[in-house]
């Protein structure tokens, strides 16, 4: 499939995925976030020394705060992404308990520029859509693909989504890194070698 055709298909999928996610009620979103947190802790393995990258929800994304708060309460190291530039990888900074968060663009909050950086062992990945092969439909900026490519070792990639965000197929390009798992309010699905 030519690049232009893939771009057009992904643009159409993004519009559809935005509409599906926006149509979910606030109650469905809140209940979904709690169910996703429960499934995450029951099914996703990580060690006490692992660094986990989360995100600060924007618009109608699935809220991973229930996961982040429980991780931090348990003493887990948590990093949040900071956009360093339009073509740069995300800057992953440690969010320490009781440390304030600051406006970081795109409606997100992030730790201070003085917060230490840390390479994640597991990344909680926001998304617009996903398919049965674990291909993630992002927003099109390439931030997560660049960030993963820049890391010394590939972390476990866990997409967080509502079940309604599954699409029949996302065109996968060479730079697209597939998810290892996706957690929805309905449970966890593993892909690749983990499946």
Strand, coil or helix: 39: helix
* Phi, psi values for residue 34, rounded to 5°: -70, -40
- What would the mean pLDDT of 77-102 be, rounded to a whole number? 88
Report pLDDT digits (tens) over 113-166: 889 999 999 999 999 999 999 999 988 888 898 999 999 999 999 999 999 999
Number of structural domains, the chain? 1
pLDDT tier at 2, thresholds 50, 70, 90: low
What token pair was written down for 180?
A: 């290892």
Give the domain range for residue 148. 3-194
Q: What is the CATH number of the domain that holds 70?
A: 3.40.50.10420
């Amino acid at each position: 499939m030519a690049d232009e055709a893939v771009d057009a298909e992904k643009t159409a999928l993004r519009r559809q995925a935005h509409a599906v996610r926006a149509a979910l009620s606030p109650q469905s979103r809140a209940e979904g976030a709690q169910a996703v947190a429960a499934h995450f802790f029951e099914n996703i393995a990580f060690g006490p020394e692992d660094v986990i990258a989360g995100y600060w929800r924007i618009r109608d994304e699935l809220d991973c705060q229930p996961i982040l708060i429980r991780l931090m309460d348990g003493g887990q190291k948590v990093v949040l992404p900071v956009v360093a530039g339009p073509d740069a990888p995300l800057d992953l900074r440690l969010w320490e308990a009781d440390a304030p968060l600051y406006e970081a663009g795109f409606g997100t909050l992030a730790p201070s520029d003085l917060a230490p950086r840390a390479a994640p062992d597991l990344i909680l990945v926001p998304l617009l859509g996903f398919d049965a092969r674990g291909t993630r439909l992002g927003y099109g900026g390439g931030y997560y693909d660049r960030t993963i490519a820049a890391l010394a070792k590939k972390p476990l990639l866990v997409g967080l989504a509502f079940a309604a965000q599954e699409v029949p197929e996302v065109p996968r390009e060479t730079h697209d890194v597939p998810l290892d798992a996706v957690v929805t309010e309905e449970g966890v699905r593993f892909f690749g070698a983990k499946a």
